[in-house]
Structure formats: C-alpha cells, structure tokens
C-alpha cells in the first residue's frame, strides 16, 4: 500500500491561512490503513484547525468528510455538494488523491495534508517500512524475495557494499542491510550459488527515470 505521513501542522496552517471555509477530506484506503488519512485523522485535524483558529481569534468553518478512494472520479464526484461552497479542501489522501481532487474541482483550491512517502506495509502495529520502489522490472525472484532496489540505501544489485556491518546498513544503524538478509535467505534456501551470477546494469527506464508512466489494458478500454 501507499504510505504517507502527516505534514507538520504549521505547514498546513500556513497553506490554509486566509480561507474561511475548509473541508478536511480523508481517503478510506491506503492512508486510512497507515493511520494518517482516515476518518480518525479527519476528526483530529479538523479539531486542530478549529482550535488554532479559536486561539488566534480567527473565524474558520471546518467541515469533515471522507471518500472510499480519492483516486476515483465516481467517488469524489459524490462529495461535490459537500465542498461546493468551500474555499479550500485539505486532502489527506496520497498525492494521487490530491491531484484527482484538484483536477475535478478546478475552482476550489486543494492542498495536500500528507507527504506521500513510499510503498510498503506495517511490520507491526504503528511501524511501516518501505518494501517496493516501483522499478517496473521486478527481480524479487532472484533475491530470495527481498527487494534491494527499495531496501538498500544504494539500490545495489550485486551484493552488499563494503559498509555492511553486523547485519546493519552503514547509512543507518536502524536499518538492516538487505543484502545481508538476502544472503541469509539464499543460504537457507540452499541457493547461495545464485549470488555469483553477475547482474548486468538494470534498465531504469521502466522506473522512476521515465515519468509519467502509463498502463493500458486494451481489453478493458471502452469507446467514448
């Protein structure tokens, strides 16, 4: 899923300064699950906005709403009525949702309440790790199911760098060295020999280097 973190409140306040009627809009999918963009955060953020206005003697009306997914035209169309007389929408979806909102409601200012951060998942309640870089050419089949593109600080493809120590990454002691983990995993699977295969330089054009990417499923595209 997409993981996003909350923007500092000061930044949000700045973005919204001067607007009289603001809708805080949550998204019921990935960002709900990572506890930054769900109904709970809508309530909290709206309370913060109201309280901050009260403390500073400003008049602001804050309304609260959510959609199942902000990255679907049909779902966001449903809230047209709710936001029509708002000056601004604070979308706490990932960047995709924010853009969908901005595109569909060009007359209303739409601001991001989150920083979309990575694709990953919870390893335990409250802790999220990056797991995929969306490189467009998955190699997990040869690395024991661990992604060196997203989990190695240097995205190395042919084994660890010289900084790997005691299983930790030299860039951060908090981060396990994924190449150390790959080695252990291949060892368990009696596949260590694959470590010796030299992986040629990766074709990065399938990934981040080639924006914007697009996918077409011919068999599903309907005539306009």
Question: Which spans in 171-212 are helix H?
Answer: 178-188
Q: Is 184 in the site for ligand SF4 (CB under 6 A)?
A: no
Q: Which of 170, 195, 206, 207 binds ligand SF4 (CB under 6 A)?
A: 170
Tokens of 217: 């499923």
The closest residue (CB) to ligand SF4 is 169
Q: Is 167 in the site for ligand SF4 (CB under 6 A)?
A: no
Q: Is 31 in the site for ligand SF4 (CB under 6 A)?
A: no
Closer Cβ to other proteins, 62 or 178, answer by number: 62
Q: Is 140 in the site for ligand SF4 (CB under 6 A)?
A: no
**29 contact, one of other proteins, ligand SF4, none, CB 5-8 Å limit per kind:** other proteins
Q: 116: which DSSP letter?
A: E
Q: Which of 179, 182, 183, 186 binds ligand SF4 (CB under 6 A)?
A: 179
In the bound complex, what is the minimum distance in angstroms from residue 80's beta carbon to other proteins? 10
**171 contact, one of ligand SF4, other proteins, none, CB 5-8 Å limit per kind:** ligand SF4
C-alpha distances out from residue 83 to 76, 90, 109, 128, 216, Å: 10, 11, 11, 32, 32
Integer Cα distance of 107 and 88 in angstroms: 9
The Cβ of residue 128 has, within 10 Å, a number of other Cβ atoms equal to 20
Residues 6+ apart with CB under 8 A from 169: 152, 153, 163, 175, 176, 177, 178
Residues that bind ligand SF4 (CB under 6 A): 152-154, 156, 160-161, 163-164, 169-171, 177-179
């Amino acid at each position: 899923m997409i993981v996003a973190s909350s923007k500092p409140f000061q930044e949000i306040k700045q973005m919204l300064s001067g607007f009289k009627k603001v809708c805080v809009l949550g998204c019921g999918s990935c960002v709900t699950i990572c506890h930054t963009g769900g109904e709970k955060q809508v309530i909290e953020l709206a309370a913060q906005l109201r309280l901050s206005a009260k403390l500073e003697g400003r008049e602001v009306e804050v309304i609260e709403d959510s959609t199942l997914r902000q990255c679907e035209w049909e779902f966001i169309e449903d809230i047209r009525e709710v936001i029509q007389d708002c000056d601004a929408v604070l979308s706490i979806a990932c960047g995709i949702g924010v853009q969908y909102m901005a595109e569909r409601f060009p007359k209303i200012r739409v601001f991001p309440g989150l920083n979309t951060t990575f694709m990953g998942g919870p390893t335990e309640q409250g802790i999220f790790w990056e797991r995929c870089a969306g490189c467009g050419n998955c190699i997990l089949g040869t690395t024991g199911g661990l992604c060196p593109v997203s989990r190695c600080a240097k995205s190395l493809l042919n084994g660890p760098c010289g900084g790997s120590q005691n299983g930790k990454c030299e860039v951060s002691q908090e981060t396990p060295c994924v190449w150390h983990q790959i080695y252990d995993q291949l060892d368990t699977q009696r596949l260590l020999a694959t470590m010796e295969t030299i992986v040629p330089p990766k074709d990065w054009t399938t990934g981040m280097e080639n924006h914007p990417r697009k996918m077409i499923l011919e068999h599903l595209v309907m005539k306009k």
